[in-house]
Chains A and B, each alone.
Chain A
Amino acid sequence: MSAIQPTVGEPVSDEMALVQAAKAGDVGSFEQLVKRYDRNVFRIAQHITQNREDAEDVVQDAFLKAYTNLAQFQGQSKFYTWLVRIAVNEALMKLRRRRPERMVSLDEDVKTEDDSLPREVADWSPNPEQQYNQAELRDILTRTIQGLPASFRTVFVLRDVEGLSTEETAEALDLSVPAVKSRLLRARLQLRERLNRYFQKRENGDANRGDGNP
């Protein structure tokens, strides 16, 4: 079984030149950085806030905050990691504002170490995602990931969807590397377990289509 390879290969060669030009006041160069990363910031923001309007606000606020504070970016990390850190903070603020009854923190550690140990082990159909049309699959995946605690969801999205390294994820979230690894494992296992009902192989070889109500 081969290892999963991250998909983001960032074209960083000219990135520092764009950052330097933007620092010197060239808005056009900053716009190039926006074009490069706006899709990523939007995805991250919507995964965290689970709300489209909030995600739109986060994109604007995060880039504007980055522009305003460019002088603080010293280049010890990649620009993208620095930007993600800003965007995650903006998104968490939105989430807290929307759910004031429940403290939302990346520090929350949920239940015990055993909570994500597999309870149900069932093999899946060979191409489980093809058992559903695009809209059904989107709905399944969205609802499944929304069921994770924000702290797990955020780590999974940065690491597995956006392809940040473990170290970059730790830096963007201000967590230790072991904390990122522990949350990532539990997020992956919990998602797997929750997807079981939709993707597991039936006796006759068909996928169990579930009832659409997780």
Chain B
Amino acid sequence: MKCSEFLQELTNYLDGVIDDRTKTELEDHLSWCHNCYVVCDTTKKTIEIYRDSQLYELPEDLRSRLRSAIVSKCHAQKKAGSEGA
């Protein structure tokens, strides 16, 4: 397996959606190709760091403000709907 072939399969490999034979070929490639090992390992870390990053968490005060606004608009719409019916 060439490095370019390895890269094509990287996403499937990281997501665990490859057949056993391809997985064995990929892991054989990883055992001797240091560059691909590093790319694979650091790509995995990239995903984990973003997944754990808690970027853009919704603050509780803003959260309840938004929810109140949504709920009151839903009530208004429901009322308008029933009056129009």
Contacts and interface: CB of A to CB of B under 8 A. Distances in A.
Given A56-B66, A60-B66, A118-B35, A4 B47 contact: yes
Interface residues on B, range: 35 or more
B71 A124 contact: no
A161 B56 CA distance: 11
A166 B77 CA distance: 35
B51 A160 contact: yes
B53 A124 contact: no
Given A4-B15, A160-B51, A42 B42 contact: no
Contacts of A181: 11-12
Interface residues of A, number: 54
A5 B44 CA distance: 11
B55 A34 contact: no
Contacts of B46: 188, 191-192, 195
B11 A63 contact: no
Given A4-B48, A46-B56, A128-B49, A38 B40 contact: no
A141 B67 contact: no
A103 interface: no
Interface stretch (A13-21, A23-31, A205-213): A23-31
Interface in A30-78: 30-31, 34-35, 38-39, 42-43, 46-47, 55-56, 59-60, 63-64, 67-68
11 contacts: A1-B40, A31-B70, A47-B56, A56-B66, A60-B66, A64-B77, A123-B42, A138-B55, A160-B51, A166-B15, A185-B7
Interface of A: 1-5, 7, 25, 27, 30-31, 34-35, 38-39, 42-43, 46-47, 55-56, 59-60, 63-64, 67-68, 117-118, 121-124, 128-129, 137-138, 141-142, 145, 156, 160-161, 163, 166, 181, 184-185, 188-189, 191-192, 195-196, 199
